[in-house]
Amino acid sequence: MNKGTGATADVRNVVIVGSGVAGLSAAVYAARADLEPLVLEGPEPGGQLTLTTDIENYLGFPEGIGGMELIQNGKEQAERFGAEFTHATVENAAVEQRPFELDLSNGSTLRTRALIVASGASARWVGAENEDELMGYGLSTCATCDGAFHRDDDLLVIGGGDSAMEEALFLTKFADSVTVVHRRDELRASEIMVDRAQEHEDIAFAWNTELVAINGSQEEGVISATLVSHPDGYPQEKYEAEEDVDVEAVDVDGVFYAIGHEPNTDFLENTPVVLDRDGYVQTAPAGGAWATTETAVEGVFAAGDVMDPDYQQAVTAAGMGSMAALDAEEWLESTDSAVASNSEPIPTEVGD
Reply yes or no on whether 142 is catalytic.
yes
Closest distance to ligand NAP from the beta carbon of 147 (Å): 15
Q: Which residues pair with 114 in a beta bridge?
A: 14
Q: What is the dihedral of CA 265, 270, 271, 276, to 10 degrees?
A: 50
Question: Quick check: 226 binds ligand NAP (CB under 6 A)?
Answer: no
Closest distance to ligand NAP from the beta carbon of 164 (Å): 6
Q: Which of 34, 54, 103, 146 is catalytic?
A: 146
- Looking at residue 310, the DSSP 8-state letter turns out to be S
Residues near ligand NAP (CB under 6 A), total: 18
The correct pick among 166, 253, 294, 349 for binding ligand NAP (CB under 6 A) is 166
Report the number of secondary-structure helices (H) and strands (E) in the chain.
8, 19
Rounded to 5 degrees, φ, ψ at 50 are -70, -15
- Taking CB under 6 A as the rule, which mask of x and - marks residues 296-315 in contact with ligand NAP? ----------------x---
- Closer of 172 and 335 to ligand NAP (Cβ): 172
Cβ contacts of 230 within 8 Å, gap of 6 or more: 208, 238, 243, 244, 245, 246
The correct pick among 32, 98, 184, 238 for binding ligand NAP (CB under 6 A) is 184
> CB neighbours (10 Å) of residue 272?
11
Question: Quick check: 75 binds ligand NAP (CB under 6 A)?
Answer: no
- Taking CB under 6 A as the rule, which mask of x and - marks residues 104-133 in contact with ligand NAP? ----------------------x-------
- Closer of 115 and 143 to ligand NAP (Cβ): 143
The C-alpha atoms of residue 149 and residue 254 are separated, in whole angstroms, by 9
Reply yes or no on whether 352 is catalytic.
no
Phi-psi region of 82 (alpha: psi -120 to 50; beta: other; left: phi over 0): left
Question: SS3 of 112, please?
Answer: strand
State the residues that interact with ligand NAP by CB under 6 A. Answer: 57, 126, 158-164, 166, 183-184, 188, 210, 258-260, 312
The catalytic residue positions are: 142, 145-146
